Amino acid sequence: MLTDSFLDYLRYERNYSEKTVLAYGEDIAQLAEFVKGKNGDFNPVEVNPGIIREWMISLMDKGYTSTSVNRKLSSLRSFYKFLLKRGEVNVDPLRKIAGPKNKKPLPSFLKESEMNKLLDETDFGDGFKGVRDRLIIEMFYATGIRLSELIGLDDKDVDFSASLLKVTGKRNKQRLIPFGDELKEEMLMYVNVRNERVLMRSEAFFVKEDGERLYKNLVYNLVKRNLSKVVTLKKRSPHVLRHTFATTMLNNEAELGAVKELLGHSSLATTEIYTHTTFEELKKVYKQAHPRA
């Protein structure tokens, strides 16, 4: 059989693992079962693009994810390339077949109640580190700043008189982010404590106790540690707080283009993912609250 010859080729000439060979075999057998259900017989040579498309639709209808369907199509592409080389078929039926697009996962974010609990009830500790760590959490949430942008902030980038941050984002693109009075007070308090406790320091706004600029892992771990106190999300990173900023802004009727500029996105399409997040949240609220949902 052609299928057996293909699997032997994978096993002995390509040295694929037995587990991988079995997976290829199962994918071909699944197509064969589908074709037999339609035509009563399966001959790989007679398979055409229409049959492949119908099979794809049947898989999606059964609940297979786009990732799973694309993996199965990959197996079949290898099978038909083998048949073409052997001269068993003249045309590859998958040549013009495009697999289903993989859905991007929606961003993880914290609810407003969770952020309030984090900022108002969490013990960040006393002294310089406690004040600094709480401000870092607050700044991610209040400005949507990226981790690299926060670490890169210098004292000269913070304009307290105009309540503006000048941040350097991807591809060295600079933008201005406004901040409110509450964050301003916390930033000034941090600066006072920092200047009192850390006498010798770099030009960085956020520093360690030795005065040196913070590094990514330190900030990542302090955010993860504190988020773990209030949420059970799998992702507990600074980027989750950036997602939370964007989602909160849109939930409170901020204009999409304005959120795009604040986040420093080059394309509006990147920002639009957050509109899907807010819509999913609305659906959850509806299902919980409406008796006929």
CATH superfamily of 112-289: Intergrase catalytic core (1.10.443.10)
Render pLDDT for 43-101 as a digit per residue (tens, 0 to 9). 999 999 999 999 999 998 898 988 899 999 999 999 999 999 999 999 899 988 888 88
May I ask the CATH architecture of the domain 2-86?
Orthogonal Bundle (1.10)
* Alpha-carbon gap, residue 167 to 150, rounded angstroms: 8
> Which residue carries 């289903």 as its tokens?
100
Render pLDDT for 220-269 as a digit per residue (tens, 0 to 9). 999 999 999 988 888 899 999 999 999 889 888 889 899 999 999 988 88
- Give the amino acid at 13: E
Q: What confidence score (pLDDT) does residue 279 get?
A: 57
Where exactly are the structural domains of the chain?
A: 2-86, 112-289
Residue 177 per-residue DSSP state? E
Conformational region of residue 173, where left means phi above 0, alpha means psi within -120 to 50, and beta covers everything else? beta
Render pLDDT for 146-192 as a digit per residue (tens, 0 to 9). 999 999 999 999 999 999 999 999 888 999 999 999 999 999 999 99
> Where does the pLDDT of residue 281 fall: very low under 50, low under 70, confident under 90, or very high at 90 and above?
low
* Residue 43, CA distances (Å) to 39, 47, 230 in order: 10, 7, 58
Q: Which residues are catalytic?
A: 146, 170, 239, 242, 265, 274
For the chain, strand residue ranges (E) read 158-159, 164-168, 174-178
Which residue, among 8, 48, 3, has the nearest Cα to 27 in the 3D structure?
Answer: 3
Sign of CA dihedral 139, 144, 148, 149: negative
Q: What confidence score (pLDDT) does residue 186 get?
A: 96
> Where does the pLDDT of residue 282 fall: very low under 50, low under 70, confident under 90, or very high at 90 and above?
low
